[in-house]
Structure 1
């Protein structure tokens, strides 16, 4: 018993030592230099905190047990004493841990609530034998403070919605493309889900805070988080493109990684200017960011009105009028008229049967002169009205100005004069106005531009003395990896342009390059480049695609050097699985080499000897993935190997977006049974690269044999 009593005294005295040390750290901790060995104690905070929680609550229970005998009281006292000591140690460890990239009001509340819980546990222990009426209420306050402290700590570690996340709805509200904002709806959700757990109030690693715009604009101690248009100097794009095993790669490898789509969005956002206010619809339609957004956000606006009677819709459809849902399963309807000679003005009245559901009407080129259009005022949900080249007059336009929900109005090719300007100004929700070749004067056009600045107005194109660049063409194909051949189509919205193309990776010109007149059969691995040209226009930028022919299927593929353990995919099977990797090295479809060269032996059916070998590669300079420093190919003739290729591929001179590339080599006509290929990664990155002097990477996903 004396020994137990002695231990009890030591533990009781320790309580005051822990309290004093905790108050010193809480009040004056910023002026104290913490040695590294104490940082280890601080990092044990998550481990220690479970002990006091259990022991303190266990001790509190004894305050509520009736008829306590001396032995029961002793158990409760020791539980409270030991729990209080653990609470003190845990508080001190937490205060030490807080010196490592933690700050903010939530941290302060967590700290002082922890100290308060510790102080209340001390009071309960030392006054446990008194008859005070406040002991039981105080024990409940202790339990409450422990719960609140734990909740605040969980918020710091896991996020503010960690506790209630399982019962919250996982459904993400649909955002329309027309309403979506670039940062708020496209970029910020990625930062919230993948970055803010380490960079928010209470936990600001690297002095970088991402839960507020001010922190994002400010950046961290390593540099600016984003620099508009500069992916090389922006901390965001630097870190997300580093190989996963690099120490500075973000998110850390033990955290959930960014998807390929998320990496593309963040990179395109920085490239486009890292704007925090712009709407998606304000982006150029051909930009990478707009294309990514158009895949993510819906153009399918939701409507809360009831569907029209199917019999009514069926009755309205005939050879000169089509009434269809705006998109499958939508209650909204669009109406289109065809054929001037078949147009019956009285048929417009028929649309009243579905006036609640009609949101779009196309009356382009229909003869509307003198027709009363006032009935359209009852179409309360009409959003788009196309009246181009329909002989529309100023008076008729005035009748339409009461359409409160109209967002898009097309009146090109009509004798509309400046008298219609007051009518146009009355459209409350107008977003787009198309008014080519009207009777509006230049002064009238300028007046509209000045008075409805929030409306996108298109008065047509005036090419006088101005040369504009054409949009790039669109390349349409079935598969990026084809067996024998694939059909390639090249399209452009302007039908009168000339389309020129090449199949060897060279830049097309307007004179010597083949003229595209019909779809092209691609029969070998080819890099297709296409441009469009037209008189008085600047030729478009190149549009490129690399199409791969799978060709002869190897009978055996043997890796002679092991890939990096982080990027080993399906090892040798990866190189002939006929699955083209995505343009992101972290998707698990690529073999990555840095310390070893890529070295492989490929065998094939002796009756199907290949004439060319093609290596499918990934280049992404910002992720340290470069062309190989050296490419070597041998063929096995009999029992000996003969070198047939030994070259230095052209190296990168700037950082570009991740992309597919290929190295293709012709093979000799001799009788050989195997091919050996070796690609040596670049030993030192060039001086222009942020990682100058570091080792580069080689990434391969297919070895293709063409006959």
Structure 2
């Protein structure tokens, strides 16, 4: 048994020493080391495993302070502690290595990430020392190391939480908050806009985690924008990137905040809109805004006056188990704050909604103060059910199916302070029935069809209520429409495809061309419901409306492929983070566009791209088209050489085509294009495509290095 114990101790020590050396090499090399793709997958598992070594380290450290009276029991405790500390040190090494691999990816900036890396290495060194010095002749030595390890775990975990969730995430609940600022002393950005960005955006866009190259912590960072361009255009929210991302469909991967993150409320979106419309100034006082300015009205509703007090509720909290039982896949019920009595209810998935889902909340009607039913198919008759929840303070009925005929029912709610009927066909007469609502303070009526005069009249009648109408073109200036939305998810088709376009603004005409030429608002055909496409087509479309400037054109290239292969095998794996979906990327019907970071491109730089395509049976081929990207500023060039090999047997392929595409030039614009390779008709069960990356020319900043070659789709005709 002594020999076995010595053997595992020796093996464990050697393995731990090797892990320390490997982690140190990764730490020193930083982004200079070349890491295979499978190790990137390992790195992304860092958040999954990091809690395991923490538990082992704390438990092993605690056992160092325990002494048992019985010699035999103490001997077993010592041996168990040795096992525990070895497992803790080795798992710490694995976790640190995973973290160092993850830190190499884009979106992690200097700052907290560097401190977190140093902290992780320090934890690894102290954990290893605990194991090696566990039986030191001076007992205080391992005990001191245990205390140091616990402190390092806390500090390193704090830095890690800041990277993931934003600065001061761990200590935020006990950090004193700024005292409420009176309206007359508040600044628009500092006290209205910045808190929204801190709560909803900065967990992904902070100094330690700059997703998309964007940090929002400082005004100069907001002005600089990120990889997708400027975040906003002062004075023009309609074409500002931040507003476009906020208004994308929730299931769109570019929607901000991303799925799983708390979305901005209607009021918060309005706040950003009017701030940008007013010029996006960082020093404007709220008091300097006109009395009836939309931004000032929002500020008045949002800022707490100096003498205001926290709301007092005269009801007790609901049972926690009952609240949990009321949650399901389409409805979430939760308290407004930890241990608070008021409850909030949110609904999702309109296809699964019916009014019974609201009735089921009757057991907590005395605690329910907020209901968010926006975009749910709520009917006029359902307002009788909502009126039974007497404690409601906030009710969001935006873009529901109500017509306003029963709106007076909601005036029975004694505490209702905020009501949104945006996107519904309510009339002025129906709005005025809310005059009887005793506590109503804010009424949102965006996109209701009410004229500006109607809303002004409503404001006169509802004197105690702030009626928020959204954007009004008070000065009569023309604004630019945003681009039409292309609903087609695939750009590659076999026989035909129905082109589908839409625009969120009512009354907009979409005009288009099919030959790649620029469409105009007078002569180009008007897009109706859909359009049948049967051949390779470059669609360009604009949005037009009387009183607005036409949008910038949106472009989509639809391409036809006659044959669909059975499989695609990549001989050499893609490099860096440009892995897309592996070989299936080349035949998934998805074109990559001009964004090389969208996960639809395969990228190669030091290795050639070599793909072998297999058809279920021989097909008569006469051309292969290869989708490629050109972005000379980002080191992405056309390939130096393309070879097409084919035949019926994988070992007997013959060269069908060999071409050298035109080299990239200094002023070439960013473009996604196809390399067409035509050859005499050949019966082929296998096609092999080889693309060799170019060498960067002498005029390029990276001269002499390998350029990147990117490909997204293969077409066989």
Normalised TM-score (structure 1): 0.49
* Structure of greater Rg: 1
TM-score calculated relative to the size of structure 2: 0.48
